[in-house]
Copies of this chain bind each other. A is one copy, B any other.
Amino acid sequence: MSSLDEHGLIARHFRPLATAAGAHRLLDDAASYAPPRDLDLVLTKDGIAEGVHFPAGEAADLVARKALRVNLSDLAAKGARPVGYLVLLGLPDDWSEAWIAGFAAGLAADQHEYAVELYGGDTIRSGRLVISITAFGTVPPGGMVRRSGAQPGDRLYVSGTIGDGALGLRAATGDPHLHGLVGEADRIFLADRYRLPRPRMALAEAVRRFASAALDVSDGLAGDLDKLCTASGVTAEVAADRVPLSAAAAACVAADRSMLDLCLTGGDDYEILAAVPSRSAPDFESAAMAAGVPVSCIGDVRAGAGPARFVDVAGQELRLVSRSFSHVRTDDPLR
């Protein structure tokens, strides 16, 4: 407990983040934002709770950065340029000012990294640690990349590597099976990937210019691809061996082939899955390279309906146990 009141806490820890003129130094009830003429706003809101989306006792700065980054990842997948965010910080009964200072430091680091500014928010007691962020960005009119524009023949791309988040959750929680598969350096790499998503803001412009449909891979590649297919009225085929794995994830799969299933269906990747018309594929690849973001073509969009097929090098379909990952338990629809 601190001798500062809420006003004092906000002034000390959050006002330095509210660098936008429209944030009014967090001294008002609301923020104002003058949108650039002829741009659409893109708005997204994702929340995370202790014990569900991050482990109890997670470092405050990592909690803050994860909460912000999962929202920025949505903006990137929609082709938006990020502008700002508002944050609700719901604190447990045993909150401390040191924790809030760490939380604000995490936000400060990511504001610098992603060129976003704090526009406002609210700090409340909520019994358990809960963070809800609303992030907003801009696209040209009608330019938000939807899930629903994929056409048969489009190529499917993912950024970065897939599966690190799901393996990383096991690494971060000391899963004994994973411990037996790979060494400490790999486990540290994977746990870090789980704890701190890397939203692909640098790819947003290429996605906006060339993708017919896109989303960020947060609930598992297979399940998220199914969402894209359903929204677009298509299906898809993915060559499982072309799904890019990090060296650490590849080591896990080499030691236990069933880990591939986890990579393809586990969540927390925060990479971008995009459908790109084949005629635009070279331009998309060039733009991604210019942006410094690795992208891999993993398959293509097909006419039809139903879940996407994941096939091995022999053309045999992989049977995935579930299409997407639940943080909590598989009979709970919420996460």
Residues of A within 8 A of B (CB): 1-2, 4-9, 22, 24, 27-35, 37, 40-53, 74-75, 77-78, 80, 86-88, 90-91, 95, 119-128, 130, 132, 134, 136, 139, 141, 144, 146-148, 215-216, 231, 328, 331-335
- Counting chain B CB atoms within 10 Å of each CB, the highest count among A29, A53, A90 belongs to A29
B5, B134, B147, B335: which contacts A45 (Cβ < 8 A)?
B134
* A1–B333 CA distance with the chains assembled, in angstroms: 9
Identical copies in the complex: 2
Is there an interface contact between B6 and A335, defined as CB atoms closer than 8 Å? yes
Is there an interface contact between B74 and A29, defined as CB atoms closer than 8 Å? yes
Asked whether A4 and B88 contact (CB < 8 A) given A44-B120, A126-B52, A128-B127, the answer is no
Is there an interface contact between B90 and A123, defined as CB atoms closer than 8 Å? no
* A263–B205 CA distance with the chains assembled, in angstroms: 54
Q: Which 5 A-B pairs have the closest CB atoms?
A: A132-B132, A134-B134, A30-B44, A127-B128, A88-B132
Q: Chain B contacts of A80 at CB under 8 A?
A: 30
Q: Chain B contacts of A48 at CB under 8 A?
A: 124
Is there an interface contact between A333 and B6, defined as CB atoms closer than 8 Å? yes
Is there an interface contact between B144 and A78, defined as CB atoms closer than 8 Å? no
Is there an interface contact between A41 and B45, defined as CB atoms closer than 8 Å? no
Closest residue on chain B to residue A328 by CB atoms: B125
Closest residue on chain B to residue A215 by CB atoms: B29
- Counting chain B CB atoms within 10 Å of each CB, the highest count among A5, A6, A130, A139 belongs to A130
Asked whether A130 and B90 contact (CB < 8 A) given A9-B333, A28-B146, A124-B335, the answer is yes
The 8 listed contacts between A and B (C-beta, < 8 Å) are A31-B42, A35-B41, A43-B134, A45-B87, A52-B126, A95-B334, A123-B334, A125-B328
Is there an interface contact between B125 and A332, defined as CB atoms closer than 8 Å? yes
Is there an interface contact between B27 and A32, defined as CB atoms closer than 8 Å? no
* A91–B328 CA distance with the chains assembled, in angstroms: 13
